[in-house]
Amino acid sequence: MTLADDAANLAGRDPVNKGSIDVTGDGATVNNVVVDAPINDDWTHVFALFNLNATEFHVVDDTVRMSTWQQSKAQDDGTRDVVQLYSYSARFRRRRATDICPETVDRWRTTLLTAAFPVATQTAATNTYVILVADPQLGKPGTEQAIENWRRGVTTHLVTAAGMHASRPLSGIHVAFMGDEVEGVCNNYGNQSHVVELNKSRQLELDFDMRVWTIKEALRIGVPVSVSSVISNHGEWTRNGSKDPVTTQGDNASTHIARQVRKLFDELADHGAVPTINWHIGAGDPAVTLRLSGVDCYFSHGYIEKGRGSSSETRTRNAIERQILGRTEELGTTSLFFTAHFHHFYSQEFEGRTLFGCPALEAERSSEYMLNQYGVWSPAGMLGLMVGAHNQRGWSNVNVF
């Protein structure tokens, strides 16, 4: 018995007319498949008619066309009866490893629709609490610990922000996704494909889950929320000889998932189900620059800015100083610079500016190369601080949780 035969015998959906299907590398179009029961959302048996796996495709919204009619049908006992028939046509997109499963999106959509978010209050305050999510590298050894570190950091920072807001109203909360949210599966280092705990699609799904959860929790505070996301080296889809991305720097998993998260929240905000979020998602440029409570800020993963010096801190500072010289019109007034990539917390002040390096959320001592080569490791953590024109430096209340 063939797969099509199995499909023909599936509960009350015997094909009356198989119709046709056009398959391309991007998807498929089903034309005039006639069955004797409604399809609803399960297209498994339709694809089985053509010996195709339905899990490789998902239907494109608003393309399903259905017509129905009654028709006389001969019965086994020689009599005739009237049956209801249904004809379906639809377009489908081929699932990619980079796609977020529709079931995952639907689950979060339901969760967000049933959540009760307070109305974000606008204030004249000049202080934004910034939470920086850096280097969890989901999928590398110790993923569960990285998730725990991420949840603990967000929860503790939001408790801190809520306490501040109660005594001195905040103008907003900014969540900065600083890159390397996923580990990737190959070409960042030699044995990567042999040690990862999650394949690429599971890494991306988990990243999506954690980002949606983070933003949902931030919206509960009742102040305006903004979000930024930057490209990163582990976000490159594949690397060519561990040097360059195969496509472009802007074609990056870090910002790709940010756009998927934005799509979900924007859809719900359009229907008034969640507060509106102000998004800043990077493209080809390594950094996102924006003004928070009167202070110009620079957010970058930090893997592209390469200067001179004897340490990662001095090299990053040197690279930023050269950026300011070369892009004075764009960066001349920027006073706060945030980077990640080097997996430890540090801060430097120079000429009226401050550079903050973010600690990593990855499992502690899980960067085997640095540990084995140099004996170097730092405690996991998440940086957060107050940013704004409330003091001369433009920042205060630095916390690492």
Range 129-153 average pLDDT? 97
Checking if the pLDDT of 110 tops 90, the result is: yes
260 and 142 within one domain: yes
Q: Distance between CA atoms of 188 and 168, rounded to whole angstroms?
A: 45
109 and 78 within one domain: no
Domain's final residue, options 94, 120, 149 = 94
Burial class (CB in 10 A: 0-12, 13-18, 19+), 365: middle
pLDDT in tens, 35-58: 888 887 778 888 888 888 887 787
Weakest-pLDDT range from 37-41, 83-87, 244-248, 393-397: 244-248
Amino acid at 225: V
216 and 353 within one domain: yes
Q: Distance between CA atoms of 348 and 336, rounded to whole angstroms?
A: 10
Find the Cα–Cα–Cα–Cα dihedral 235, 237, 242, 247, rounded to 10°: -110
DSSP type of residue 245? E
- Let me know the angle formed at the C-alpha of 363 by 369 and 225, rounded to the nearest 5 degrees: 120
The whole-chain average pLDDT of the chain stands at 87
pLDDT of residue 10: 38
User: Which helix (H) or strand (E) is 287 found in, with range?
Assistant: strand 287-292
213 and 70 within one domain: no
142 and 68 within one domain: no
Query: CA torsion sign, 315 to 318 to 324 to 326?
Result: negative
Q: Which residue has the higher pLDDT, 60 or 254?
A: 254
Amino acid at 40: N
Structural domain span for residue 163: 102-400
Pairing of strands 65-74, 80-94: antiparallel
Domain's final residue, options 65, 94, 123 = 94
166 and 82 within one domain: no
Q: Distance between CA atoms of 149 and 140, rounded to whole angstroms?
A: 14
Closest CA to 150 of 128, 117, 121, 181: 181
Q: Distance between CA atoms of 97 and 186, rounded to whole angstroms?
A: 14
Q: Is 242:187 a contact under the CB 8 Å cutoff?
A: yes
122 and 258 within one domain: yes
Closest CA to 395 of 130, 112, 212: 130
CB atoms within 10 A of CB 273: 15
Range among 19-23, 67-71, 297-301 with highest mean pLDDT value: 297-301
DSSP type of residue 298? E
87 and 140 within one domain: no
Q: Band of the pLDDT at 16, cuts 50, 70, 90?
A: low
pLDDT in tens, 360-380: 999 887 766 566 665 667 899
190 and 318 within one domain: yes
Q: Band of the pLDDT at 14, cuts 50, 70, 90?
A: low
Q: Band of the pLDDT at 8, cuts 50, 70, 90?
A: very low
Range among 36-45, 117-126, 137-146, 230-239 with highest mean pLDDT value: 137-146
Q: Distance between CA atoms of 230 and 250, rounded to whole angstroms?
A: 9
Q: Distance between CA atoms of 339 and 343, rounded to whole angstroms?
A: 10
H runs (alpha helix) in 271-367: 312-326, 328-331
Q: How many domains does the chain have?
A: 2
Weakest-pLDDT range from 91-105, 158-172, 376-390: 91-105
86 and 170 within one domain: no
Closest CA to 320 of 349, 292, 359: 349
113 and 90 within one domain: no
Domain's final residue, options 94, 123, 157 = 94
Q: Distance between CA atoms of 160 and 155, rounded to whole angstroms?
A: 9
pTM to 2 decimal places? 0.78
Checking if the pLDDT of 4 tops 60, the result is: no
Range 18-36 average pLDDT? 88
Q: Distance between CA atoms of 25 and 37, rounded to whole angstroms?
A: 30
Closest CA to 339 of 296, 309, 298, 300: 300
Q: Band of the pLDDT at 151, cuts 50, 70, 90?
A: very high
183 and 81 within one domain: no
pLDDT of residue 246: 75
Range among 13-27, 111-125, 332-346, 358-372 with highest mean pLDDT value: 332-346
pLDDT in tens, 271-294: 999 999 999 999 878 899 999 999
Burial class (CB in 10 A: 0-12, 13-18, 19+), 351: exposed
